[in-house]
Structure 1
């Protein structure tokens, strides 16, 4: 590791640690969830948080947003929400006698979409172009979105009443999906003490600037990925397309997201190179939400997470003695 790269990663880890501590002052006992959230942000991705109501999905999104001094907008998805309510609309100005574009809430660095699966599919699809191309097209005019741009969407399980399942194309835009899960009893007891009088969000102050986050993203882009690691990522994704337990495997976009997230995961660990462990730690949250189980797997109550965990055990891991595969990046 060169001195300059070492300094960059040292600064990255320190800044990410400040953000992580700020979030954990609000979200107790969810260190792994917070780390994955930061990983997705530094990978220039988007995060889908899926769980039952009341476990802190929106609180996590708001805590990340408040930890960074940048524009943040929140959208409450409802069945009557229109696409223009998200992207913006051209309105006629009576004084200038011209149409003016009124930007929607998507024009922010962090967009919190609360209960995204309560909106109609037409409104959900308004986010597709924004998430993939970081731009918005309204009335034939294209507007660029600032960097960083991250969508953090929460949703309740589709079994719950009044929800619209996200289509495959929409789920594929999200880099990772996480479930908050119920807190441990000790963390829940602490939550009663801390949240009883007031919300800790009210006291949360920004600990990083937009410029610092951009620098972190640039540092993550420079993390080295060897050819054996790239082949391993491709093998993992290809395995989802070949197993009989799945009727829909992961897309090429999923491979790209997996490698990007692995770079961020490595950087947060203080490394300027990716190792197989990075891919293995991220394979389930990055790939599972894109997979559809076969009818036979559904009959056996096999979830995509279980299938992905089984594939991780079966796909050969690169030899660590290969140059840059598992031990070090080339100098």
Structure 2
């Protein structure tokens, strides 16, 4: 046999860890062993396959894996995000929590060997536009995993009896395909059962709680909500980590807009816009920065003026109060 038992175990471990470099290194060792044993054709074929795989863009490889099939195709949308942890603006405790998730997932095999599971069930709660969905994208990108967003409008069937079976299809995928699974606007599914007199709706939530409790730690299940207060209390103890999101302070608001504007924001006196950012979310700040940048571009200028930005921020504040 060309590949030894140790080679095979190393290939499995590196594949499970998502470590492409280690996987290819072991595969090249197998090819070298084949060549030493006189299997020149096999060695050459292996090397060509490895070279071809290395040249293939990562996104295209993951997209092929992530493409939903069968019943799952109508329930999720698949993406391979490009946003990284350094792109996420927020307080240190937020980044620390996300870093912990990433570290435990990368070391999940070591944890498993000692009888522990990595953090894999996350509840993200806070105002709209504060980075909850972006966090799921960051985790997917940092772990080189597809992001599968559950389409709640498809999941919550008008025939309530079908919803539990659809949930089972989603969690079957959680068990069989390593990915980040995002339940966005989760309050539509996880609302307080005591205020709902529809027995079937209560049974659906009970099904979700059971599936979540049994979820495979190889995948990451993320639930995001804007309305913590209406969630059923039984949910909170089922999640490994709850991360709270808040509106950005003055310094964070400036960082959000700087990141979006790039060189076009170099001439801005950021202290001059501090009185205009209160109450705006990360998403609204990004929209304001984009509006200001477009105004400058259409004037033929390479940098925005403070007036562009304060005007755009005021527009967002006015729109939000209507």
TM-score, normalisation: structure 1: 0.38
- The structure where strand makes up a greater share of residues is 1
Q: Does 1 or 2 have the higher relative contact order (CA < 8 Å, sep 6+)?
A: 1
* Structure of higher CA gyration radius: 2
TM-score, normalisation: structure 2: 0.39
